[in-house]
Amino acid sequence: MKHAHSVMSEAFNLAGLTPSAFLRRHWQKKPLLARGALTECAGIVQPATLIALAGRDDLESRLVRRDGRRWRVRHGPFDPREFRRLPRAGWTLLVQGVNHALPAAQRLLDRFAFIPYARLDDLMVSYAPPGGGVGPHYDSYDVFLLQGEGRRRWRTSAQRDLALVENAPLRILRRFRPTREWVVRPGDLLYLPPRCAHDGIALSDCVTYSIGFRAPDARELGARFLEFLQDELDLDGIYADRGLRPARRPAWLADDMVRGLLAMLRRIRWSDADAVRFLGSYLTEPKGHVRFTRPRRPLTERAFAAQAARRGVRLAGPTRMLFRDRTVYINGEAHALAARAAGTLSRLADRRALPPLVRPDRETVRMLYQWYRAGYLAIGDE
């Protein structure tokens, strides 16, 4: 099945560039500042909301403070009362995965659908009073930094010296040499490619949205693929050495034994289809802290189908969903489907929602109901 339908993200100002031109000129190449790119999204998260989200155990949160040259990091969840005792300057609260909790945050991510979901990580939101920041650093992935309320000064550098401060709780650059500087205001959008050194300092009470794009590490990818193969192995038999003769050198790893064991190892096989199935599952696997809320009183399958036919369905905030050919991948699971169901569910993956379902096929209803029971999706609008 080819991808017969495309999804166009809602256009916004990328400094006068189309998404194609941006990807060609800047993506993974050089920074871009787009003034007033998303002013309508600047206020979707208020500081009080972020502080409340930092108290949840299904979202990752950090509190970063700097005292002179010393950096301190604490991990949440946090009691909201803690923030009343903090000084008026010099700290930052960061909350990861805000799109899992707030539909408006997910809609912000949807604006970046011109980049494949397989690359999208999540939305991190930070709040800082004047002087707050996390120090000069670099990321190994692409990131868009959208300014919410307040002002922030960003400095960047194309330096190749990426040595870090030893024993610091954050990845702080030892020698940061900025070459460019901007002051950003609500709605301004700064794109930074991987390994671009940067430092952001809040000039006023400041909210910043970080739209990050994952870049799997080759070593981690290889290790996880080997784990996948381990679960898929179908090897039988045991090493045998009939006709063994008395050993003259008992510590010698004999040629016959090496040949026999290598023959067993050579029976390990995988195909491109195995690798693709691994990639789809790996790229949709939720992070360890993510929780899915199951319905307290789930509908019967017939009642669910009736509701979906009238109101449609939508993916839950934490759900990750991809597809390739007739296989859909959702939250680490792979499902090979018939053509009709695959076509419907690939549209769900693309758009993260389906309108009211008119006479859906049985397989589609069965899969949707299974995911509804698991908390992967819900009925109707937000």
**131-186: per-residue pLDDT in tens?**
999 999 999 999 999 999 999 999 999 999 999 999 889 999 999 999 999 999 99
Report residue 382's pLDDT band, with 50, 70 and 90 as the boundaries.
low
Which residue has tokens 């209803």?
Answer: 365
Measured N-to-C along each axis, helices 339-351 and 362-374 cross at an angle, to the nearest 10 degrees, of: 40
Cβ atoms of 247 and 146 within 8 Å: the answer is no
How far apart, in whole angstroms, are the C-alpha atoms of residue 53 and residue 151?
A: 22
Cβ atoms of 211 and 144 within 8 Å: the answer is yes
3-state SS class at 326: coil
Q: With 70 as the cut, is the pLDDT of residue 317 above it?
A: yes
Rounded percentage of the chain residues whose pLDDT exceeds 90: 84
Which residue from 272, 189, 258 is spatially nearest to 225, judged by alpha carbons? Answer: 272
pLDDT number for residue 5:
44
- Please give the structure tokens belonging to residue 244: 């063994």
How far apart, in whole angstroms, are the C-alpha atoms of residue 201 and residue 90?
A: 9
Cβ atoms of 73 and 170 within 8 Å: the answer is yes
Helix (H), strand (E), coil (C) string for 54-116: CCCCCCCEEEEEEECCEEEEEECCCCHHHHHHCCCCCEEEEECCHHHCCHHHHHHHHCCCCCC
How far apart, in whole angstroms, are the C-alpha atoms of residue 95 and residue 75?
A: 10
Q: What letter represents residue 87's amino acid?
A: P
- Please give the structure tokens belonging to residue 71: 């950096």
pLDDT number for residue 61:
97
Which residue from 376, 356, 353 is spatially nearest to 311, judged by alpha carbons? Answer: 356
Averaged pLDDT for residues 27-51 = 96
Give the residue ranges of DSSP H helices in the chain: 19-25, 47-53, 103-110, 218-232, 255-265, 272-284, 301-311, 339-351, 362-374
pLDDT number for residue 7:
52
Which residues, other chains included, contact 124 with Cβ-Cβ below 8 Å and sequence gap of 6+?
94, 95, 96, 97, 98, 209, 210, 212
Task: Work out the angle at residue 134's Cα, subtended by the Cα atoms of residues 131 and 139, and round it to the nearest 5 degrees.
Answer: 140
Q: What are the two backbone dihedrals, phi and then psi, of residue 153, each rounded to the nearest 5 degrees? A: -100, 120
Q: Is the dihedral of CA 296, 299, 305, 308 positive or negative?
A: negative
Q: Compute the mean pLDDT over every residue in the chain, rounded to the nearest whole number.
A: 93
Which residue from 199, 153, 208 is spatially nearest to 178, judged by alpha carbons? Answer: 199
pLDDT number for residue 12:
87
Q: With 80 as the cut, is the pLDDT of residue 123 above it?
A: yes
pLDDT number for residue 81:
94
Q: What are the two backbone dihedrals, phi and then psi, of residue 84, each rounded to the nearest 5 degrees? A: -70, -20
Which residue from 316, 314, 302, 319 is spatially nearest to 355, judged by alpha carbons? Answer: 314
Report residue 366's pLDDT band, with 50, 70 and 90 as the boundaries.
very high
Averaged pLDDT for residues 368-372 = 98
Task: Work out the angle at residue 33's Cα, subtended by the Cα atoms of residues 29 and 34, and round it to the nearest 5 degrees.
Answer: 120
pLDDT tens-digit profile of 200-249? 999 999 999 999 998 888 999 999 999 999 888 888 889 888 888 888 88
How far apart, in whole angstroms, are the C-alpha atoms of residue 379 and residue 313?
A: 4
How far apart, in whole angstroms, are the C-alpha atoms of residue 10 and residue 113?
A: 8
Q: With 80 as the cut, is the pLDDT of residue 330 above it?
A: yes
Q: With 70 as the cut, is the pLDDT of residue 2 above it?
A: no
Cβ atoms of 342 and 323 within 8 Å: the answer is yes
Q: With 70 as the cut, is the pLDDT of residue 291 above it?
A: yes
pTM, full prediction: 0.89
3-state SS class at 13: coil
